[in-house]
Amino acid sequence: MIAWVDRLRDAKPLLLDGATGSELERRGVPCVLPLWSAVALLQNEYTSVLRTIHAEYIQRGAQIITANTFRLNRQTLMTEQLHNDSRRLICKAVDTVREAIESVARDRTVFIAGSIGPVEDCYHPERAPADDVLRDDHHRRIDDLYAARPDLILIETMNNMNEAAIATEYAVQTGLPVAVSFIARNDTQLLSGESLEKAILRIKTYNPAALMLNCMRVEIMEHTLDVLKDTAGDIPIGAYANIFPEQSKPAMTPDDFASRMEGWVSEYKLKIIGGCCGTTPRHIEKLADRIGVN
């Protein structure tokens, strides 16, 4: 199989999938907090919906599928007395992607990204626990994810510099490629208020395979991409934005989303492009057509 990092050298960008959590909700899976999308791993009928979502993204052109491991951290699982099931659930999430690939894409390469999200709420950096808790949680989760053998580790929606560094430092020691993605409040600051540029520079010291931005509205992310491009240096960059509706306007249509993302690929030389909350297989299909995947 072609290595994921080798594929990043190609002229065309890699197409990441779209949302998992909001797509599960759209299809009737009750993704309630604190487990949120991880609920889909607890009942076979919900796991079947998850597998179908993965398969549809693959059929629409996605080349990277994100395993549903975002909320499978120890702190969250402890609230539901599931912390002893962490490795089993993480392996189940990765295997569910493998099953989807086997069902619809035996003849082409599709990469599996194991997701590592913040220990606490990704929108509330002030809730981040102490460093010893962060290290214990991320180390356990990364060990469990390594056992599931994804193609890469995706540390995503990181809202503060310290937690991103703790997770990245340990993840790169696995030998798997590691991509790190931040969520920012504007073109200069993470949600924590820390400098986006300084955060990127700090993570660069761990030599990640890619640096990315995610889980922001298109209008906000557009202003942050210059910082990412100018600071990342030779490290490949990527982006996957939210498209939730706002009071003044509806959610972005698949055609509008694809057109805007195609522009980003051209302007910012993105090597990875996809969708975050609110995007659907239809959005990814239109984007695949635009960037020449299909």
Residues in the chain: 294
- 233-285 tens-digit pLDDT: 999 999 999 997 665 566 789 999 999 999 999 999 999 999 999 999 999 99
Q: How far, in Å, CA of 214 to CA of 276, rounded? A: 7
pLDDT at 244: 77
Pick the more confident residue, 18 or 121. 18
The structural domains of the chain, with segments of one domain joined by +, span 4-291
Q: How far is CA 45 from CA 27, 52, 159, in A?
A: 12, 11, 33
217 forms beta bridges with 242
Pick the more confident residue, 31 or 293. 31
Mean pLDDT of the chain: 95
Mean pLDDT across the stretch 139-168? 98
- 64-81 tens-digit pLDDT: 999 999 999 999 999 999
Mean pLDDT across the stretch 39-57? 98
Task: For the chain, give the percent of residues with pLDDT over 70.
Answer: 97
Full-model pTM? 0.96
Pick 4-291's CATH classification: 3.20.20.330, 3.30.530.20, 3.40.50.880, 3.30.360.10.
3.20.20.330
